[in-house]
Structure 1
Amino acid sequence: MTTGGDGSTEIGSPSESMTLKTTSAGPTLPDPTLSDAPYSEIVLFDSPARVLDFLRKWWFLLGLSIVVPLAAAAVSVGSHVNFGSGDQSLIELSARDVWSTHTPYTGLIGRMSWNHPGPLMYWLLSPAALIAKHSSTPVRVLNVLLLSGALIAAAGLAWSLGRRFFSVIVLSTLLALIGLPAQVIRVVWNPWFPIPFLVLLFVLVARVASGRTRDLIGVLIVGSIMVETHAGTALLVVALAILALAFVVIDSISAQSMPERWRSTLAWIGGSALLLWILPIIGVFKGVGGNLEVLVRYFRDAPDGHLGLRRAITIFAAEYQWRPPWLGGPEPILSEPGFRGFAQIAAPAHGAYLIIPFVALTLGYFAARSGAMKLWRRYILATAAILVVGVLSISRADQPFDYTFAWRVVIAPLSILVPAVPIFARIIERNFDGRRVLTTVVAVGVVVSCLVAAVRLFPKMHSGVQENLLTSQVIGSIARAIDLADVSGEKIAFRNGTASFLGDMVAKGAVNEMDRRGVRVVVPNDEYSDMEYEYNARAYGEWRAGPLSSASAVWYLVDAPDQFTEMESMNGSTMIWRLNPYSASAIFELPISKR
């Protein structure tokens, strides 16, 4: 017999045999998969006790409802040849650079021409980037595996905190995946990358709250991955980290002693922090990558102003109006004219809907007053913290782009399911005579909900439809043209002569494919304003920005008929690639003297 992470007595814990038996000490809610009856080798579902015995033994298999859809995503992504474009190609380009003498100090460039804080995402993806010699598929597969690993690790660590907490994490994760676009798992992009790690961070903080102080090391590592990848997660990470430290301090004061192995824990935290943040710290002072001041200025005084608290409340409230995306409802997104011609704007709802999670969290907090449930007060505080800070984070954004704060779809189901556990515990406590039946109903309901969610997720994650199929096909044809040109080892300048969003995505993809195939690409700084030069240096790497004269030839990407005619008429021009015989989208090579 062991004590579960939530303070309740459990049998058949992950570290003990399932054949032990226990007797309930009082009218508190047992773990939804536990019963007072001993385990029988012959399982007959003729009573709630038999059902609970069966579920108790196999409850950990509930985690398969997460594993199966994620595995399907990895298989689906790996079965298609894909070529990155836009930001995805810049991520892959930088991931190859981490093992070179031009290691990036900061993360991906943002809309406002500053870089996200650090390169940890590049380092995590770099093994696949090195072996991706022909396409972006290996990088996409590793991306799926990393994000899946974060979610599976969260479920595995949650298991040590008891079946109730494990059930909450599994079900809330499934609901979040239903509400989020499949691209969050399937596409390499820095706004998506931190979202699964938020689930893992929440579980680590919950483990710290239960007395596992060593998990502060994990909080630092996971939090660093999130913040370095996307600055928009900084407030969430800081809030959870402060709360975790507060729990440790409170427990130390209560016990009048320091946590076990606290010195080595501090040493690991200090060493890990230095290792994870040394490159961003160097980047603060080195070249165009030194963007700390720009980042701070943006969050303090965005050029177009901030959304404000009222707008943030209405955006977050949309996650609680019937039916929200995480319960299978439509995604509340509006398409409006915006950056480079279009934008996906998060649709607002009436701010009163935000009362729902706060009422649930308040009721759950006061319901968790028994000894076995008091730990859930800390879980509720952690949930409330990311809910409040999430609203504040949205209020500091300059535009209501849906992808910028898609993590709210993770927070929404947590804010309902976490307080639901002590609330149901209180209800069952008041109905002691029927608690076995009620517990069975709850347990079966959780199992059915997870299975239904997994069934709904499977076709979404195993979709045969490729994301960004059009641009992938375009970049694929450019890659074949580069192979035919046989320019590996040459130093070639690349200039984007287009003015469209699609042209920008294709240009970035073309540079990535040239670099993949051994071309030493130069992004010319001639004829560019200081702002344009800084953008190119931040986007492609400062070492790739240089004078046009340093290259042996220049490749021009054009997409307008007049540009095509002009390039075609130039002496010495060679057409490297053309989208089709009737298209003006093409890449021409000119000798430097004819530029």
Structure 2
Amino acid sequence: MTGRLRPRRRNARPSVPPRRPVVVPVNPTPDLWSRVTAWSPGRLRLVLWCVLAVPFVVAALRLVGRHYHPVLDLAMTEFRVRDVGTGDTPLIGLPGRIGTFPDQGSHPGPLSFYLVAPTYRLAGSSAWGLLAGMVVLNLVAIAVVLWLAHRRGGTVATLVAAAVVAVVVRGYGFEVVTQPWNPYLPLLFWLALLLAAWGVLDGDHRLVVVVAAIGSLCAQTHMPYLGLSLGMGTLCVAWLVWDAARHPVERHPITRSLGLAGIVSAVLWLPPVADQLTHDPGNLRMIADYFREPPDDPVGTVEGVRLVLRHLDVFRLIGGAFGADGHVTRAGFDLTGSVLPGVLVLAVWLAAVITAWRLRQRAILGLHVVIGWSLVLAAVSMSRIFGKVWYYLTLWAWTTTALVVVSIIWTAVVVLGRRLPARRSTVTRGAAGVVAAVGVLSWGALTVEALGARVPEQHLSDTLRVITGPTVDALESGDGLSAGADGTYVVTWNDARYFGSQGYGLVNELERRGFDVGVPFTWRVPVTPQRVVTDGEADAEIRLATGFYVDQVADAPGAELVVEYDPRDADDLAEARALESELTDSLRELGLDDLVPLIESNLFGVQLDPRVPVELQEIVDRLLELGTPTAVFLVPVGTDR
């Protein structure tokens, strides 16, 4: 009947729509990408970190058998790491080209010594422990990089960051990333600092604390990072202040993050401030005076920009990648090439910036801003270099170049994804796959190359190892001028090749073995004031001599030869004579006759002279590597130095 519901009959079954057949896949096999993206963030980072750690561990184990004996700056570093936790805990960094010798200043702070010290102690305060400390710090830096990358872009960003780390580490080489020299120690932390700054600009305001901590480490360790870190920190603070003004609801948490960053910075800079307050002049004042009244004219803005452009030459890096590890470091030895490749890369990057701006891609724009600001800071920093532009002064810039490449590729992927929306996932996975493949190849080569890892200045270390044993035996014997194991010794040197490198190392090795040794007052800054031994305090003088100085010291009244060693065989001697003849002729042809006598008396001085072209510097490098006769004497205290 129309308009009425017909009552349902008892036992009537309601109508049920027909069931759709369930299709069960047979032996489902997810691809590798699906498996990786299904991992938890913590598991992904742990796996990648363990993989990246493999070549570091291999290198560290290989270095055990190298019987390392630090020289020059690494010996100075070990003095200070050994002093951490004692009454002579360092308050400032390693000596630098600041002021005039012997009253030179040091790099700003001691934080790197504090961080290396725990591993050094666990390794028995051995020289290898110094290298192990650097390995541990770099593994910490890698963990931070992976963590920061995941906060920005999840799985894809983490994989890309791992690939960048592999490429960058292989570019720098194991002699760099296992050596706790102050220009090298911040390199991977600089990458972490850039990623943390990117996070701040991308709305992750808590990362300003990370910027403060890592920036303090970099700035204290090596002078060029002081301006770079301050500049990057200023960008982050300015951004957060502006962000707080635009979004009042975020003002309190942003203020809290800024306050915590300020506290972290204040705590980390307490040692340099304490040094400034307790010494006259303090080290911070010496640094300020040095930059207010530099001893030489800086290279200038034009040359600074050129240096930045030469560091943007990715084509040179790609070519070097087919060689051995360390190709990035080697590229830094010759920064006189054309700037055109760098100009091209800069133009492509600027096009990527404009594209990202038009697409309103905040995350990419934040990275571009950090990169752009880093390039500006790089130009300013490089323009303020005084004297010779050493490769290590600008080594950090290659990390920025790696991020430039990543930002260009990322922008291109976004553009392709917009134009091909149906294939966006394929494009993203394809680009990530290419980057990952480059990373895997770099990692594989790096792992193999780790088997050949060498200690810093292996040739000098080996010679120092040979002469240390007999020197210890002579001091313990108590014969002749020796005052025995309980005597006090002052160590001096006459070095024709390495400006005292092995002299510092000899002091370090004798101190490691428990001897009371030190240096004259002249060397108080590099060897530390507490290691000064006056002539009145010394029972005997240990004199290290190299090259033609060996005969001079041997002729000194009362000199006793302890050990003499020449690391060169017959072929090496023939090569050295030929190279010395070629170098002499070339210097005279260039009108540099004043440098010819230095070949015999101060070979490193030839390398330091900015008039010497790169091809002749390579000859000097080879002569330094071949070595020279090295001897240790016991001489009466005060013998002509």
User: Could you tell me which residue of structure 2 aligns to residue 53 of structure 1?
Assistant: 34
> 2:199 aligned with 1:199, yes or no?
no
Give 1:139's aligned residue: 130
**The residue matched to 1:349 in structure 2 has which SS?**
coil
Structure with the bigger RCO (C-alpha within 8 Å, sep 6+) is 1
Q: 2:492 matched to which residue of 1?
A: 495
Residue from 172, 177, 188 that aligns with 2:164: 172
1:47-94 deviation line (CA, Å, top 9, x unaligned): xxx565234235655555533333333333344321111111110011
- Indicate the residue corresponding to 2:605 in structure 1: none
Q: In the alignment, is the contact (CA less than 8 A) between 1:333 and 1:347 conserved in 2?
A: no
- CA gap of 1:553–1:128, structure 2 versus 1, over 3 A, is farther
Question: Are 1:317 and 2:283 an aligned pair?
Answer: no
Once the two structures are superposed, what CA deviation does each residue of 1:302-352 show, in whole Å capped at 9, x if it has no partner?
3232122222233232334362225635758899xxxxxxxx744233333
Contact 1:507 1:557 in 2 (8 A): yes
Contact 2:328 2:398 in 1 (8 A): no
C-alpha deviation, 1:44, in angstroms:
3.9
Q: Does 1:547 align with 2:541?
A: no
The equivalent residue for 2:273 is 281
Matched with 1:28 is none
Structure 1 residue 158: Cα displacement: 1.4
* In 1: Cα distance, 2:287 partner to 2:220 partner: 12
Q: In 2, Cα distance between the equivalents of 1:586 and 1:288?
A: 39
Conserved 8 A contact 1:178-1:326: no
Which sections of structure 2, spanning at least 5 residues, go unmatched?
A: 1-24, 99-103, 477-483, 569-627
Structure-2 residue corresponding to 1:119? 110
Aligned to 2:339: 351
Residue 25 of structure 1 corresponds to: none
Q: 1:289 to 1:101 in 2, by over 3 A?
A: farther
Kept in 2, the 8 Å contact 1:363–1:423? The answer is no
The one-letter code sitting in structure 1 at the alignment partner of 2:411 is P
Indicate how the Cα distance of structure 1 residues 129 and 289 shifts in structure 2: closer, same or farther if over 3 A, else same: farther
8 Å Cα contact 1:83-1:135 kept in structure 2: no
Q: Give the superposition deviation at 1:300.
A: 4.4
Shift of 1:354: 3.2
Relative to 1, partners in 2 of residues 1:378 and 1:440: Cα closer, same or farther, differing over 3 Å? closer
The question of 1:254 aligning with 2:254 is answered: no
Is residue 512 from structure 1 mapped to residue 508 from structure 2 by the alignment? yes
- After superposition, the Cα gap between the structure-2 partners of 1:464 and 1:322, relative to the gap in structure 1 and judged at 3 Å, is closer
Offset at residue 549 of structure 1 (A):
0.5
Per-residue displacement from partner, 1:267-286 (whole Å, max 9, x unpaired)? 53343223211221232344
TM-score (norm 2): 0.75
- Residue 413 of structure 2 contacts residue 428 of structure 2 at CA under 8 Å; is this kept in 1? no
Which of the numbers 144, 148, 162 marks the counterpart of 1:157?
Answer: 148
One of 450, 454, 461 as aligned partner of 1:461: 450
CA RMSD of aligned residues (A): 3.1
Q: 5+ unaligned residues in a row in structure 1: which ranges?
A: 1-39, 336-343, 526-532
Partner of 2:69: 83
Secondary structure of 1:118 counterpart: coil
Quickly say closer, same or farther: Cα 1:211–1:593, change in 2 above 3 A. closer
CA distance in 2, matches of 1:490, 1:129: 28
Aligned: 1:586 with 2:631:
yes
| Match of residue 403 from structure 1 | 392
Q: Does 1:239 align with 2:231?
A: yes
Amino acid at match of 2:131: R
| Deviates further, 210-219 or 59-68 | 59-68
Contact 1:493/1:521 (<8 A) preserved: yes
The amino acid that maps onto 2:395 is A
Moved more, 424-433 or 74-83: 74-83
Counterpart CA distance in 1 for 2:360 and 2:50 is 28
Which sits farther off after the overlay, 153-162 or 123-132? 123-132
CA distance 1:56–1:266, change in 2 (3 Å): closer
**TM-score, normalised to structure 1's length?**
0.81
The whole-number CA distance in structure 2 between the counterparts of 1:43 and 1:367 is 41
Alignment check: 8 A CA contact 1:93 1:515 kept: no
Alignment partner, residue 558 of structure 1: 545
Q: What is the CA–CA distance in structure 1 between the aligned matches of 2:53 and 2:169, rounded to whole Å?
A: 12
Q: What is the CA deviation profile of residues 534-575 of structure 1, one whole-angstrom value per residue up to 9, with x for unaligned ones?
A: xx121111222342112222211222556546546634x443
Structure 1 stretch 121-130 or stretch 358-367: which is displaced more? Answer: 358-367
Name the CA distance, whole Å, in 1 between partners of 2:213 and 2:27. 46
The residue identity in structure 1 corresponding to 2:526 is A
Distance 2:279 2:464 in 1: 31
> Contact conserved, 1:82 with 1:137, CA < 8 A, in 2?
yes
**Larger CA Rg, structure 1 vs 2:** 2
CA distance in 1, matches of 2:637, 2:362: 73
